[in-house]
Amino acid sequence: MPELARLTSGRLLARSTLINLAGEVVPFLVALFAIPALIGGIGVDRYGVLTLSMLVIGYFGLFDFGLGRAATKFIAEAAASGDRDAIPSLFWTSLYMMLVLGAAAGMLAAALAPYLVRDALRIAPALRPESVRAFYLLALSMPFVISAGTLGGTLASFQRFDLINAVRVPSGIFSYLGPLAVIPFSHAIDAMVAAMVVGRVAGWLATFTLCIRVAPELWRRRRPARAVLRPMLSYGGWVTVSGIVGPLMSYFDRFFIGAMLSMAAVSYYTVPFQITGKLGVVPGAMGGVVFAAFSGSFANDPGRAALIFERAARYTLLALFAPVLLIVAFAPEGLSLWLGPSFAVRSAPVLRLVAIAAFINCLAWTPYGLVQAAHRPDLTAKFHLAEVPFYLAALFWMLPRYGIAGAAIAYLTRVAADAALLFVAARWLMPAAARAVNRVATLAFAGLADLAAAAIPMELAVRLLFVAIVIVLSVAAGWTLLLEPEEKSFIRGYVRLARILAVETRE
């Protein structure tokens, strides 16, 4: 299948991943400068309301019921198999449903707005009128926010992450610069939200236009199909279960810590998650790319899917091992320099455990995508549901005995169990990936052994020597054992180019 080979070529997937990384980094860099200016311009209280309102509305995104993920999967399958006639019905069925669901979410958000502002968020009386108006504006945007999943999923199905980020990057930048542009005229929260809503609608229209450009048949056949609605809802329903239960397990430990220990303990526990959360940029940039590739290749070419699986897992391992090793080895010193020795004493053990958990969790993104692309989102949902009672029991038992370190141990144990289940499921669903799963698991265990050794108490000089030796050996092992000949050739080419540019610059 020439279309499958094109959509899953290694060069295209690598290019899409790098584009996604840039799409994450550029708005983040803008935010570093824009957020202080926003806070300085409107004050801490108004900025807090602005971010809280966006966070609350973000939770209403669950109203897509996984249809964005479903659209990506089904359209990617059709595109890879060359069945272009099936794409319009999939696209319009998903889009119409998500517009309806978005309208329902918007009406619910609008109805709850006074309660959220007054009782749930306890916003100061002086800011309530403009806050309620801001919620109303955000509610109006919900159909566009939710249905954007179908549009982005369609472009992802064709591996057009260049077009996705051509809209995402300006939209992400405008979400910060738009409110800044309003400050000279008004400090009202609703005025700033209005600017962001205009940006979102403009992004939606641009993405819709790009979808028509990539697949012109979409405009010629603008009819949904009842026959595809049921399988899409069934698939999306299980994705929604994972989308609800997974994040809940990632956050409700903080509520238990606050109730059973103290609010100060919540701070000591949360900061390590804020630090290690940045590691998710790598698998996050890769996740959408490989999910679309898995969806197109799983049924049509399992061998190709297995190759993509191994490469994605290897690249994640190569990209994250050294940063996680540095975090684990130097957590006390880093936290002490950043937040002070008193904070470091309490938080460093948690940071080490959470960093190892983040390493495992990032590796699990690849089998997670494969399992869902294999049309078994029920497995990921059932894994999460099964983990909940054990995780709760572990928290209740560990917190009183070991404090926040006990909560981190419970979290690490749950993440490790989840990753193991996902790798086993990937191996079971696609026997062609058995060799890849075994190889990645072996390398991951070796990496975890090094990380565990780095957490053993030792003098700073000894730790420095240990880390230096491990990194040198890891680079040598990675070059010898992990990289394929064509990958080594690709790297050598970039090294030669860098040398040439360096010589020309000196001259």
pLDDT at position 485: 64
Tokens standing for 245?
A: 């239960």
Burial of residue 449 (number of CB atoms within 10 Å: 0-12, 13-18, 19+): exposed
Amino acid at 24: E
Q: Compute the distance between CA of residue 11 and CA of residue 6 in angstroms, rounded to an integer.
A: 9
Burial of residue 343 (number of CB atoms within 10 Å: 0-12, 13-18, 19+): middle
* Residue pair 105/60 in contact by the 8 Å Cβ criterion: yes
pLDDT at 147 over 80: yes
pLDDT at position 41: 83
Averaged pLDDT for residues 126-142: 87
pLDDT at 172 over 60: yes
pLDDT at 506 over 60: no
Global pTM value: 0.78
**Nearest by Cα to 284 from 201, 208, 358, 214:** 358
What's the mean per-residue pLDDT of the chain? 81
* Residue pair 144/201 in contact by the 8 Å Cβ criterion: yes
Amino acid at 372: Q
Tokens standing for 359?
A: 């390493």
Stronger pLDDT, 137 or 291, i.e. the higher one: 137
Amino acid at 206: A
pLDDT at 267 over 80: no
Amino acid at 471: I
Question: Which helix (DSSP H) or strand (DSSP E) does residue 224 occupy?
Answer: none
pLDDT at position 209: 93
42-89: per-residue pLDDT in tens? 877 777 777 766 666 666 666 777 878 888 888 888 877 777 788 888
pLDDT at 207 over 90: yes
pLDDT at position 488: 62
Stronger pLDDT, 122 or 495, i.e. the higher one: 122
